[in-house]
């Protein structure tokens, strides 16, 4: 423990080591119980008691491909949705944010306000109005599952916006683009070779968090009668809760790793700038 943090403990601004680990320990243990419960459940041998590896190994048999066809299909759907949603973020939100940052600084507050709205208008409310919108969408684009990404692009707005904006604020975007422009670069070149490399971290974080949101989305898919990972999980859970538990665990783990990666991206930035 450094002298500074010893002083901080004495002054009362920081908890002592013991207090810290008692609080984190208790909360950590309590919060790990449901996850342990989920893991334990995935090894249970039916309702009779005893444990088996069958639920895990069963996933890799040929038979599983047939039994869980709908679940695997739903995972495919969620993957497609994640890709299209990320495309919406990169092709619609990102250029707009850069444009507003460079050309319309006065619109920054407006853009921020718009991007925060989806927090106030929750999915369960949005879906009431999306139902009629989607009857039009289906007649234009067909009923492909990817169309759901239009709605998901809205749900991820607050998260993606925050990720990109914090990067935009940290990089002298205006100066960089002026410098490139005065050296004769066209706007596409400025965007592709000057701005994007500088915004890589924010863009990556926005993409990852969008993937995480899409993989966890249930409300809109369920009420618009589309099949994605979460709706399929709920359905499988009724007939084969063990497999549902396994996939819930894997999905949670995957999203956790994705977010850990975002955290690492952020912390390398902090280190290099200090």
Partner 1 sequence: MTVANAPAVLETGAGASPRRQSRAGLAKYLGLTPFALYVLLFLAIPTVLAVSTGFFTEDGSLTFDNVAGIFAPAVLATFASSFWVSAVTAVIGAVVGALVCYAMLGTRAEGALRTTVDSLSSVLAQFGGVMLAFAFIATIGNQGLVTVILRNSFGIDLFAGGQWLYQVPGLLPVYIYFQVPLMVITFMPALEGLKSQWAEANATLGGTRFTYWTQIAIPVLAPSFISSLLLLFANAFSSYATAAALISQGSQIVPLQIRSALVSETVLGRENMAGALALGMIVVMVVVMWGYSALQTRASRWQQ
The correct pick among 65, 92, 138, 183 for binding partner 1 (CB under 8 A) is: 92
Residue 31 touching partner 1 (CB under 8 A):
yes
The CB-of-274 to partner 1 minimum distance in angstroms stands at: 9
Closer CB to partner 1, 54 or 178, in the complex:
178
Asked if 104 touches partner 1 (CB under 8 A), the answer is: yes
- Find the length of the chain: 274
Nearer to partner 1, 30 or 66 (CB): 30
Options 3, 13, 63, 273; binder of partner 1; rule CB under 8 A? 13
State which of positions 141-160 bind partner 1 (CB under 8 A): 150-151, 153-154, 157
Instruction: Based on the shown chain and the rule CB under 8 A, indicate whether residue 123 belongs to the binding site for partner 1.
Output: yes
Nearer to partner 1, 62 or 182 (CB): 182
Which one among 29, 65, 124, 138 touches partner 1, defined by CB under 8 A? Answer: 124
Show the site string, 219-258: x = touches partner 1 by CB under 8 A, - = not: x--xx------x--xx--x---x--xx--xx-xx--xx--
Neighbouring-strand partners of residue 44: 51
79 binds partner 1 (CB under 8 A): no
Stretch that binds partner 1, among 60-68, 76-84, 125-133, 199-207 (CB under 8 A): 125-133
């Amino acid at each position: 423990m450094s002298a500074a943090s010893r002083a901080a403990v004495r002054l009362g601004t920081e908890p002592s080591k013991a207090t810290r680990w008692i609080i984190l320990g208790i909360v950590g243990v309590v919060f790990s119980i449901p996850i342990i419960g989920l893991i334990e459940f995935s090894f249970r041998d039916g309702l009779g008691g005893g444990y088996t590896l069958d639920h895990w190994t069963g996933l890799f048999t040929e038979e599983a491909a047939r039994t869980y066809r709908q679940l695997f299909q739903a995972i495919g759907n969620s993957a497609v949705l994640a890709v299209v949603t990320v495309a919406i973020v990169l092709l619609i939100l990102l250029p707009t944010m850069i444009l507003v940052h460079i050309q319309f600084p006065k619109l920054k507050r407006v853009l921020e306000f718009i991007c925060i709205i989806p927090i106030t208008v929750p999915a369960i409310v949005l879906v009431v109005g999306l139902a009629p919108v989607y009857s039009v969408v289906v007649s234009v684009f067909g009923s492909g599952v990817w169309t759901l990404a239009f709605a998901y692009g809205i749900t991820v707005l607050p998260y993606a916006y925050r990720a990109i904006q914090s990067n935009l604020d940290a990089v002298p975007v205006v100066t960089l683009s002026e410098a490139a422009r005065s050296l004769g670069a066209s706007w596409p070149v400025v965007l592709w070779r000057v701005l994007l490399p500088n915004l890589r971290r924010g863009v990556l974080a926005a993409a990852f968090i969008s993937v995480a949101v899409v993989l966890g989305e249930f409300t809109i898919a369920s009420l618009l009668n589309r099949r994605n990972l979460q709706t399929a999980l709920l359905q499988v859970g009724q007939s084969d809760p063990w497999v549902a538990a396994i996939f819930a665990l894997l999905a949670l783990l995957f999203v956790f790793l994705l977010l850990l990666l975002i955290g690492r991206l952020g912390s390398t930035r902090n280190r290099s700038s200090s």
